[in-house]
Amino acid sequence: MQLFQPDLIYLKDRHQLQTYQEIKQVLNQWSDTCCTNIQWNENLICKMTLILDLLRKNTFKQKIELYIVTPSDFNFLYYQKHLSDLLDERHFVISTMIYHTLHDVIDDVFFCSRRIIVCDSALYQQNLGSENTLIFPVSLQTIDETCIKINQLMHPTEKEVGTEVFGFET
């Protein structure tokens, strides 16, 4: 008696064709370099293409974490309320941690991929941002303007289209 268990058939669309061709080229180059005579399973190459494409899509659509640095709990709640009301929740996740110094938040979130820090102007220090960290000074009077600036980073006007935010072109 024989048991046949066919694999799923993985189909790629035209957007994944370039990735598929690059994977196939790398595998063939590896095979030539190592002097092996390997028959690559086309279906498994398609599966690898789909997985890599899914990883790429999920990486770029990752939400940006937003942290609030303020000396008082009242200011934190005030800023958090304005940020949650005025920012697009599809793009941002607002941290519930209260940070009282800028160095605390930078040390805590060092390994995050992309983040925005809204820092009370009394605690703000220049040149602490990085390629993946944007720091905005804010006060009780300027929180609305800061929210507008942050939203404009994610949704540039027609004049600003093509600018990069966190290394990704908008």
Res. 164 pLDDT band, cuts 50 70 90: low
**What are the pLDDT digits (tens) for 55-101?**
776 655 567 788 899 998 898 999 898 888 887 676 778 888 888 88
Domain ranges of the chain: 14-60, 64-161
- Report, at the CATH architecture level, how domain 64-161 is classified: 3-Layer(aba) Sandwich (3.40)
CB under 8 Å to 67, separation ≥6 — which residues? 95, 97, 99, 105, 109, 115, 116, 117, 118
CA–CA dist 164, 170 (Å, integer): 6
Residue with tokens 């820092």: 119
* 92, β-bridge pairs: 64
| Per-residue pLDDT tens over the stretch 17-39 | 888 888 899 988 888 888 778 77
